[in-house]
Structure formats: C-alpha cells, structure tokens
Homo-oligomer: A and B are copies of this chain.
C-alpha cells in the first residue's frame, strides 16, 4: 500500500501541489530546470506537503496560501537530498540515477543551491515573517545535522544520544515544521500548531529510525538502492550503535566496520549486516521507533477530533509499519 492511498480526499489538492512544484523550478535556466525536474520527477512520498495540507485543515484551509508553504518545504527536502547525494556518492535514489551521477557533483551542488533559493522566493510571497524565521532556522539546523553526519562517519564511539540529536536536525525538524506551518498559514490557534509540531517531530524521528532499519533489513527492490549503503559510507545508525553495545558482538562487529572503512565503501557489508540482525539491535531500534509513534499519537489526542486528525493517526501508524 502506498501512503497516498490513505487519503484519496487530498488527491486533487496534492495534484495541484505537484504541478506547482514543477512550475516553481521552471524557466530560469535550461540546465537548472532539467536537473531540478529530474530530481523532483524521481518521485518521493511528498510527505511534507501532505502534512502541510493536513495541518491546514485545522484552520481556514486555503490551498492558494498553503502552497506557499507546501511547495517550499518539499523543495527544501529535495535540495537537501541532492546535496546529500554528493556526500554519499550515491549513484541511484529511488531506483533512478542521481543528479550527481547523471551530471556531476558541481552541477548537483548548484542544483541544490538553486532549489533552496527557489523555496525561499516562494515562501517570501506569503509575507509572514514568522514563517520565514521558522524556515530559515530549520535550514541552519539541517546543515548542522548534515555536518554532524559527515563528522561522525565511522565513529563507532557515538552514543544513542548523538544519533537522536543528528536525526532530529536532519529529518524530524523539517517534518515537524511542515505540520506546524500548515496550521500557522491557515491561522489555526497557537496551541494547535504547537501540538502538530510535536506530532510531526515524533513521527519524523520514527520515520528516520525506520528508514535506517530498512537500509539494513530491506532488499534492493524495496528501497530503490543496494541495502547496507549506510554501512558502506560509514553512517553509523541506531541498530548499529545498539549492536556495538552488545559485549558478545562488539569486537567482531568493530573488526568488520574497520574492514569496511579500509576498503573505502567498496567492501562487502553483508557479514556486518548479518551480525547486527542476529543481535538485539534491530528489536531495540524498533522499540524506540514505537515510543516515538506513541508520543506522536499522544500529541494528536490534544487536537480537535476531525478527519484530518484521523489521517494523521493513519500516517503515524503507516510510518511505523515494518516493511522488511
């Protein structure tokens, strides 16, 4: 089941957002439009715009206004992906060649810069300084999260806390403000946008933990790229941190990780993955994801009972579904 199947009611509005997304990057420069469109057309769940629209349902829902938040948030997400692919040296994303693979790193870097800037131009049309402040602060946090990820590559001494802080910045924050800004742009009460922020933050944390689990436990078909790519690039994720805390596993797993590092991403990660899967790390990570989802559902309890709240609940449960 796809995420979009859950909310047929939003279909028409999401089609509009999709068109605006393509329009937003069109026209200025042929090459930039081509690279940006390539990136956007590679797909994605459009999770952030969905959250904006659902958040907007808690106020005066106005698609014309909401697009000025929904489109920028998806653009910011896409720009972060294209810069991420430069770092990860990723050849494919969602089963299609990345911008850096089809063109090159330099073009990918400026494609990201262009899309970030386009996002800000669109958001500026709303003339709401508070929305600008929240967006630009999120961009700062995201770039810090990315830098922390680079710095912590192959750092086998990092703690669960390091990991959580990093995914908070890298992933959860943007999802949190998607929910929040949808409500804000629709003039919902402050308490509502705050609860939506909390919902989004917790869903975002669970989402990233599940994504990291999938990279270890999924198949190339289910994730659109070879599994174990985090391991190969040295991105130590939650199940790995837990596995390293296990005395019986620690030394042999450290040995494997050092071997992967020495081969600079070209080595075989299957032995390391087997070790992690054999231990309690996967289950522990799943439990933590469950806890974040519980907190997300708790935040929803405080919101007025409506169809949008029911959808948000479905999404939270969907995000946390085991897909491996």
Residues of A that sit less than 8 Å from B by CB: 28-29, 31-32, 83, 86-87, 105-107, 109-114, 116-118, 120-121, 123-129, 132-133, 135-137, 139-140, 142-144, 146-148, 150-151
Contacts and interface: CB of A to CB of B under 8 A. Distances in A.
B140 A110 contact: no
Contact of A32 (B105, B110, B144): B144
B110 A146 contact: yes
B124 A136 contact: yes
Assembly stoichiometry (copies): 2
Given A28-B140, A32-B143, A32-B147, A110 B83 contact: yes
Contacts of A87: 106, 109-110
Contacts of A121: 133, 136-137, 139-140
Nearest to A131: B124
Contacts of A150: 106-107, 110
A135 B132 CA distance: 12
The 7 closest A-B pairs by CB, nearest first: A117-B139, A120-B136, A127-B129, A114-B143, A113-B143, A117-B140, A124-B133
Contacts of A144: 28-29, 32, 114
Contacts of A105: 105
Contacts of A148: 29
Contacts of A117: 136, 139-140, 142-143
Given A150-B107, A150-B110, A133 B125 contact: yes
Contacts of A31: 147, 151
28 contacts: A28-B144, A31-B147, A83-B113, A86-B106, A87-B109, A106-B150, A107-B150, A109-B109, A110-B150, A113-B116, A113-B142, A113-B146, A114-B140, A114-B143, A114-B144, A116-B116, A117-B139, A118-B140, A120-B139, A121-B133, A121-B136, A121-B137, A121-B140, A123-B136, A124-B129, A125-B133, A127-B129, A132-B132
Contacts of A147: 29, 31-32, 107, 110-111, 114
A252 to B, nearest CB: 30
